Structure formats: structure tokens, C-alpha cells
Structure 1
């Protein structure tokens, strides 16, 4: 039975995951703990090691942070990796698991979609200002200025930060940093040979040194070292492509 090492990189999004297989997550104490049939990976600013053995079948749903807090309220702690969920998600996983095990992913997806749609009808909505600011941060690859966003929404920076943290679980500045980091890893996975200077400029970093400092802060490695790891794991073909887009290096 093969064993695979994975690295869950810092991410601005929140993932609801239904797991059918043997996967373990490393805690802060260095111990590997089994992942349950359903869990949530929250927005996080540090990397986490995961190990899987044998065949795993996984179904995941990705949320913007403010949507996750409203849809999964009372069902999961979305601030960090959660291994204990509420009764609703636990019951849902007992129905989804056998479908994943049998390979019926479409039926499993329909079950999860139906559960989420039912939750959406009764969930409290995030403030419109938070959603508008968050979507602008994603659209700008994390480059939108928080002060300018607050002014456009008729709020002070402090008011926007307070509303954002309450609705999304993190500040808009932290979200912007995570979005920009995610865009950087995506580009390096697509093209590990890309110029780091050009990429730093494209993503709005002050300069290449700023880009490298931010990348190291999240991964303890430079973007050049990360690109080298992509080349090692997914050697490029004649087209110059790096990691296949059907496979995410962050999981």
C-alpha cells in the first residue's frame, strides 16, 4: 500500500471535506492524527503536513470565508483544521461516505449540494459590505487597498476590519496576503520557470525581495525553491507546463 506525503499550504478559502480513505494530519505537537469522514479546513496562515495511505476518495466544497461562517455556523469551527463537526454534518457524512466508497461521486455531490442549499435558506447572511470588500480583494488578487475599500463602502478602516473579522474570521489585510500568496503558488505550479521579478510585479508586491519575504513567511521556503519542487514532482513536457491542473500541489 503506497504512502503519499502532502503539504496543505496557507489558504484564504475554507474547505468542507468528505473523506473516504486513510489520511492523517500532523498537529502542532508533531503527531499524525487520523482525519475523520468529514472535516473542515479553515483559512490558515501556515503550512500543514498530511499523509495518506492507499486509495482515497474525497469530495470537497470550497467557500469564501464569510460564506463558510454563515453556512456552517454551529456545525463546524472554520478557524483552523477541525476534526469535530456538528450532528448535521455527521449525519450527512454517513450518507455520503458509502457513495464515495462505491464511486458514485455524482450522487454524493447531489446530497451535499442539497444539504448546503437547505442551510442557505435559513443561514444569516454576511454583511453586504463584507461580501463586497471580500470579492474585490479576490478580483484584485489581493491588491486592493483596504483604506480605499473602506472609503468606497462608507466605512472607516477600523469599522471594515471589525465587520470583516466578525463575518469572515480574519482581517481583510490577512485575507489579501493569503489571496496573493495563493495566486503566486498557482502561477508557479502552471509555469515553474516564470521570472520571479515579473511575477512579483504582476501580483503587486513592492519588489522581488518583498515577494520572497512573504513567501518564506508562509512556507519557510523561497518561491524559487517551491518552483524547483514543482519541477521535481511534475517534470515539464515539451509545452513547458508544470504541475497538471487536475492535481493541486496544495493537497
Structure 2
């Protein structure tokens, strides 16, 4: 049996946290799942059995920060799953962890490998929480305390940049740097430190998410029209990019999965 729940953050955290999700799954046997780049970083706690990362032939850490991903990942459940995941806004994770989040790109870093005593203390308290509601409250309190310490003056300018990317099919790095009131060199450095990947890669990830969103809401759309609406140069370009990020062509993906975009849904 599987239950999945979305929990919205408190109003004070809403500018910084997209949502929390909780997954409980007691399904017998192994279940495989392919995860795709979302454009957002996450804080993950396994309260049950951990997921196995196929490419690494190893289990995920018990509690970890999941950085920006630039390709798909296959994971397999190994038993009773109970996960609590905090999904940050694309540009806000750095304010909670105080280090350049580019260090997390394509990595799952255990909380216990970080020099962050308060975060490790949170992990210990999570292990003692006797229900999911209390566990989410612990995470909220930790994040609220970090938010009260003040956030970077770069957060508002990057918020404007991310909003522009989300609302624009076509944009470029120079235009984004102008929105942030930074030189292109400064902008690329600040962007990478706060969002966790380069502006170019982030634009490609959001284009993928836009593609998934359109397929979700208009599954009968033609691929030529789809490539145009998502800002690809042509259909061939879309298929190449889609395969890079998902491992499938759009046609193969639709036959195996139900397209959905977390980025454009919430």
C-alpha cells in the first residue's frame, strides 16, 4: 500500500520552500522508479528503508541534501519506505546551508558529512519523532530559525531571474544578468552558488519541465508544435535534449510514464 502527501510550508517559509512531500510505501517486492531533473534541491530524510541508486549500486544516505541533477536517476525500493522530503525554491537552498550549493550538483551529500552541528542535531531529533506530523514540524522549526538569521541580498534578484525563466520560453544569459543587475561573469558565479548549476544547464532543465507540463495537460499535441512551444530550435533538438535528461525519446517516455511537472504544478 502506498500513500503520498503534499504539505505546504508555513507562510513565513513559503518564499523559500515549495512544499514538503511524504511517501509511505509498504508494497511487497522491489519497485523501480526513474527520477528526472526538477530544477530544485531537496533535504531528504529516510525514516524507513532507504532507496538504492542503481548507477552507484548503493543505498542513499539515511538523511541527505540532494543537489541539482542534470540527468535521470534510477532508484529501487528495498522494503518499507517512509520518506520526508523538503523541496526548496530553485534559488533558496544556500540560505539554509551557508555554502555554495554548486558543491551538491549531481550528488547526495549525507548530513553527517557536513560540518553543520545544528543540521546533524535535526537529523537526530527526526529519528526520535514518533509521527510524521512531528517530524515535519521539526524541519519547519529548523528552517524558520535559519531564515530568521537573514537571507542573502542576492535572493530577491535571483527570485526575479527565476520568475522570468519560468514565464519565458526564450531567454538568454545576458538578459538574465541584466535582470539581476550584474555583469555576466558575476551573474554566472552568483547563480551557480545559489541555484547549484550553471544558468545554461538550469535553462535546459526548466525547458524539460515545460515540455513535461505541456505533455501532461495536452497529451495529443504534435511534437513539432511541442518543440516550438518549449523553445527548442526544432523537433530533432527537442528529442535529443529529452533523451539526454530522461533516457527516453518523448514517444518512448509517454508509452512508459505519465508526464508530470512538479516545477510547473506547484
Output the TM-score relative to the length of structure 2. 0.75
**CA distance, structure 1, for counterparts of residue 153 and residue 108 of structure 2:** 22
Question: Which residue of 2 is the match for residue 135 of structure 1?
Answer: 163
The 5 Å alignment of 1:114-193 reads: 114-125=141-152, 127=154, 128-140=156-168, 143-189=170-216, 192-193=219-220
| Equivalent-residue separation in structure 1 for 2:158 and 2:100 (angstroms) | 22
- Quote how far apart the aligned CAs of 1:157 are: 2.6
Name the CA distance, whole Å, in 2 between partners of 1:126 and 1:62: 21
Question: 1:184 Cα shift?
Answer: 1.9
Note the alpha carbon deviations across 1:115-143, whole angstroms, 9 max, x for none.
00101122541514333212321233x63
SS in structure 2 at match of 1:66: coil
Gaps of 5+ in 2: 1-27
Instruction: Indicate the SS of the match to 1:58.
Output: strand
Partner SS for 1:221: coil
CA drift of 1:203 comes to 1.6
* TM-score (ref. length: structure 1): 0.78
Correspondent of 1:19 among 43, 46, 60:
46
- For residues 74 and 211 of structure 1, do their structure 2 counterparts lie closer, same or farther at Cα, with a shift above 3 Å needed? closer
C-alpha distance 244-158 of structure 1, shift in aligned 2 (>3 A): closer
Q: After the TM superposition, which parts of structure 1 deviate over 6 Å for at least 4 consecutive aligned residues?
A: none
Q: Runs of 5+ in structure 1 lacking a partner?
A: 231-241
1:96 maps to which of 104, 109, 126: 126
Q: How does 1:1-251 map to 2 (within 5 A)?
A: 1-26=28-53, 30-73=55-98, 78-85=104-111, 86=114, 87-99=117-129, 102=130, 104-125=131-152, 127=154, 128-140=156-168, 143-189=170-216, 192-230=219-257, 242=258
Contact persistence 1:23–1:34 (CA under 8 A): yes
CA displacement, residues 177-234 of structure 1 (integer Å, 9 cap, x when unaligned)? 111112223443555443222222222222222211111222232111111111xxxx
Between the two proteins, the alignment pairs up a number of residues equal to: 230
Separation in 1, partners of 2:217, 2:76: 24
Segment of structure 1 superposing worse, 189-198 or 109-118: 189-198
2:153 and 2:58 map into 1 onto residues whose CA distance is: 33
* SS of the residue 1:155 aligns to: coil
Worse overlay, 110-119 or 127-136:
127-136
CA RMSD of aligned residues (A): 2.8
